[in-house]
Amino acid sequence: MVRNSQKTVYVGMSGGVDSSVTAALLKQQGYNVVGVYMKNWSQDLPGLPCPWKDDYQDAKRVAVQLDIPFKMYDFETQYRQKVVDYMIAEYQAGRTPNPDIMCNQEVKFKLFLETALEDGADMIATGHYARVRDGQLWTAANKDKDQTYFLYRVSESALKRSLMPIGDFVTKDEVRVMAKELGLATAEKKDSQGICFVGKVGIRDFLSQYVTAKPGAIKERSGVTIGEHDGAIFYTIGQRHGLNVGGGLPYYVIGKDMDKNEVYVTTNIDDENLWKGELQLTDVHWINEVPDMTKSYQVRTRYRAPLVEGTLQVAGSSKSDATYSAPTLHIALSDKIRAITPGQSAVIYDGERVIGGGIVV
């Protein structure tokens, strides 16, 4: 059996407390730990400076405190191509993508993993709240912080080379207590917000730098125009705020037409376009084996949304030794779910194990 001291782990250190404690834990467990800061984005936006230099320095300070080697990988070109361009294209098509899921699939658990292995690593580690066992993905002990929703597209082979040690912590306070006890520079640092790696920037502010949005009509289901939007690209199903439509009952977005540049709304909270009892998924990914389609599973349609029971049915599936593709996966839900949004992900669980998921059509 290979002892931890004979394994080299490259830890993705973002400059936050979670990845800092991850590196500290693995060093305590006897691994040869190398810290790596992934430089994925450095562009400042008007009034919104990118925090990458501060994050890099924070990660470096912790590496010095832990007395571990520290490196920086520059993935900015690939991140722009794989994550940012994807996100912009999806919004332009009228869908609502999740860039964090694509970042995990293409950057952290593909590009970072491949680069680290070529550089001498045996494994990689991240500060995700999730648990990995024998190439399987399990929910974190801390259910409030569980991040498996963002990790469902990671491959089994990548998980077999990955460690996520803080997934065993029951509370975030435990993580911060350990950081304080070790005197880590990031112990009091607030959790990052905003788009993956870009910093504290809202999606509207970010998209405004790359797309030209035109005003258009906001219409009720009857077809009556009741207001004007500043770009259909910025609106998503179920949205209530930011419509700037007159007083009275609140309006909710129930659809949009990108060709006509129109946004459709209703005051009916029970509108059939807001509540769906079934899902159609494309670009389906199974982490391990193809699931038993006769069983019932649990489905999550957005981060921290409650799990809903569902049954699966694959149409037009095909399987080979290396891949499994399902052009369309139909899920019948036990309860209707509000604001199911095209472009978002639905993640499928079998108890505490994540089996896969896909993109909402």
pLDDT of residue 322: 36
Q: Is 218 helix (H, G, I), strand (E, B) or coil?
A: strand
The residue annotated as part of the active site, out of 88, 130, 196, 207, is 196
Catalytic one of 38, 59, 103, 355: 103
What percent of the chain lies above the pLDDT cut of 70?
A: 93
214-266 folds as SH3 type barrels. (2.30.30)
**Strand 130-133 relative to strand 123-125, pairing:** unpaired
**What are the beta bridge partners of residue 337?**
276
DSSP 94: T
Read off the pLDDT band of 4 (50, 70, 90).
confident
pLDDT at 192 over 80: no
The proportion of the chain whose per-residue pLDDT surpasses 90, expressed as a percent, equals 82
Question: Which pTM value belongs to this model?
Answer: 0.92
Where do the domains of the chain lie?
4-203, 214-266, 275-360
Pairing of strands 216-220, 262-266: parallel
Least confident of 47-56, 104-113, 138-147: 47-56
Bridge partners of 33, per DSSP, are 9
d(CA 308, CA 20): 34
Residue 267 is given by DSSP the state S
Strands 318-319 and 216-220: unpaired
Q: Is 196 in the active site?
A: yes
2 pLDDT tier (thresholds 50, 70, 90): low
Q: Which residue has the higher pLDDT, 49 or 346?
A: 346
Residue 324: pLDDT band with limits 50, 70, 90:
very low
Instruction: Report whether pLDDT(351) > 60.
Output: yes
Spatial CA neighbour of 15 closest among 45, 66, 51? 51
Q: Give the residue among 25, 13, 11, 116 at the shortest CA–CA distance from 59.
A: 13
- DSSP class of 14: -
Whether 319 has a pLDDT exceeding 50, the answer reads no
Q: What is the mean pLDDT of residues 91-116?
A: 96
Q: Which helix (H) or strand (E) holds 74?
A: strand 70-74
Reported as a pLDDT band with limits 50, 70 and 90, residue 24 is very high
CATH superfamily ID and name for 275-360: Translation factors (2.40.30.10)
- Mean pLDDT calculated for residue range 126-143: 97
Please report, for residues 26, 259, 273, 308, the alpha-carbon distance to residue 330 in angstroms, rounded to integers and kept in the order given: 41, 27, 18, 14
Across 106-120, 234-248, 325-339, which has the greatest mean pLDDT? 106-120
Domain 4-203 sits in CATH at 3.40.50.620
